[in-house]
Amino acid sequence: MKLKKILVWFRNDLRLHDNEMLVEAIAKSDGILPVYFFDPRYFEQTRYGTAKSGHIRAQFLIESVAALRASFQSMGGDLLLISGTPEAYIPQLVEKYEITEVYHHREVAAAETLISANVEDLLWKQKVNLKHFIGHTLYNKEDLPFPIKDIPDVFSQFKKKTERDASVKACFEAPQEIIFIKNSEWGELPVYDYVPAYASGGEQEGLAHLQSLLAKDSAIYVKGSSKATVVKPGFSSKLSAWLTLGCLSPRKVYWQIKAAEAKFGSNGNFNQLILGLLWRDYFRFMFKKHGNAFVKEVELHSSLVASSEELNDLEQWKNGLTGHVLVDQYMLQLNTSGFIPHAARLLVATFLVYILKVNWTIGAAYFEEKLIDYAPASNWGNWAIVAGGGKDSRSKNAFDLDKQFKLLNIPQSDAVA
């Protein structure tokens, strides 16, 4: 009888806990071949003159992949690392290892969706199935109270109906034992020059950060208050980088928050953390529903940068040399750490779009390069909303332009004139 061998194609799901794809592959196979591709397309230059992955972001990715490899090695296996495209190598691996099925997590952005479609077409010719899983959201699409085509475009409506009529599933347990397909060459990690960042990549690092975040003496609790019900000013969980690469599961974060809430009482910061998870879901489902049209219906405030004056303004914004204290502070922080809080992202985006009048897509591309937690749906969705687009452009729940101008201390009438 022919053995069933499953190739598990890892993408932005670099964890063992709450990984349905991995759990099912182990249960339904006689052996798995875990694979990760360092796809050169994600390290190229963009048409905006930026890199698709900056140094800090690339470093965090490599650390996260290395951590997953170490987890597999501790279980007697390994993670096959390939520098190349999935389209070029998966058909070869299927033939070489007599793979009977390929598992992967489906993405929602256009480039990632196209890669999946290309691989699926190639596998069809080999009569091998590509099975899709969805493991990046708090709520599974089949658990939503509406089909994808009927998901409310307004975030507040999406939030209200989802929280009222859907439930968050329990997490899948991390596997304790895995049978790996035998292999002699597992590939090498890319070499990088280490630079200090606000976080290190990997599942265990993410779980440790989550645990410390929710510990009794954490900054998430407002000091000197008998009840931890006040949102701490400027609070940021900094969980987003691990969530983006799937080192942390959104459901894991949710249930850990609920456990902390049951133990320590209600906390406004807990609500903010769950709200952030819902926003991530919203943007992913909007891309699933509308595709790139979700961010294309935006009235541009200028054409693509062309003049020397515009180029100069853009470079000053990138380098934190605009002369505006807050904007410069946050841009320097972004460049050196790969992270700034969500409110800071809205602020610097407002300055670029409405004060400097630079095309918002250029700012979004720069964030793609610099952000350690870059996620296509959230990044481009947030920038589109700042620029006056997206499907929820009139909702104050989405973006408060007046508030951003007050922080910048610039009259709105002057900024948009």
Tokens of 344: 């800071």
Per-residue pLDDT at 225: 44
Q: What is the pLDDT of residues 93-137, one digit of tens each?
A: 999 999 999 999 999 988 999 999 999 999 999 999 999 998 899
Query: H or E stretch including 71?
Result: helix 55-73
What rounded mean pLDDT belongs to the chain?
88
Percent of the chain past pLDDT 70, that is, above it, reads 87
At position 356, the amino acid (one-letter code) is L
Q: What is the pLDDT of residues 171-194, one digit of tens each?
A: 999 999 999 999 999 999 998 777
Cα separation, 397 vs 376, whole angstroms: 21
- pLDDT of 238 over the 70 cut: yes
Query: H or E stretch including 408?
Result: helix 401-408
Per-residue pLDDT at 200: 92
* CA separation, residue 344 to residues 278, 326, 353, 408 (Å): 19, 9, 14, 11
Instruction: Please indicate whether residue 215 or residue 401 has the higher confidence score (pLDDT).
Output: 215
Show me where the domains of the chain are located.
Answer: 5-135, 204-290, 294-415
Q: Is the Cα torsion angle 277, 279, 284, 285 positive or negative in sign?
A: positive
Tokens of 162: 């989802």
Q: What is the mean pLDDT of residues 1-5?
A: 78
Per-residue pLDDT at 232: 44
Q: How many CB atoms lie within 10 A of CB 353?
A: 26
Per-residue pLDDT at 191: 86
CB 34 within 8 A of CB 127: no
Q: Which of 309, 304, 296 is nearest to 393 (CA)?
A: 296
The residues that bridge with 130 in the sheet, in sequence order, are 102
Tokens of 181: 């397909």
Q: How many CB atoms lie within 10 A of CB 112?
A: 18
Q: How confident is the model at residue 211 (pLDDT cuts 50, 70, 90)?
A: very high
Cα separation, 171 vs 237, whole angstroms: 21
Under CATH, to which class is 294-415 assigned? Answer: mainly alpha
Q: How confident is the model at residue 265 (pLDDT cuts 50, 70, 90)?
A: confident
* CA separation, residue 158 to residues 61, 162, 347 (Å): 31, 6, 25
User: Please, what is the angle between helix 360-370 and helix 308-318, to 10°?
Assistant: 40
Query: H or E stretch including 117?
Result: helix 110-125
Tokens of 316: 């000053």
- Architecture, CATH, for domain 204-290: Alpha Horseshoe (1.25)
Alpha-carbon Rg for the chain in angstroms: 22
Q: Which of 7, 371, 34, 36 is nearest to 190 (CA)?
A: 36
Cα separation, 417 vs 412, whole angstroms: 8
* CA separation, residue 403 to residues 249, 299, 385, 409 (Å): 32, 21, 14, 10
Cα separation, 296 vs 220, whole angstroms: 37
- pLDDT of 1 over the 70 cut: no
Q: Is the Cα torsion angle 63, 67, 72, 73 positive or negative in sign?
A: positive
Q: How confident is the model at residue 301 (pLDDT cuts 50, 70, 90)?
A: very low
* CA separation, residue 253 to residues 11, 89, 210, 234 (Å): 20, 34, 7, 20
Q: What is the mean pLDDT of residues 74-89?
A: 97
CATH number of this structure's domain 5-135: 3.40.50.620
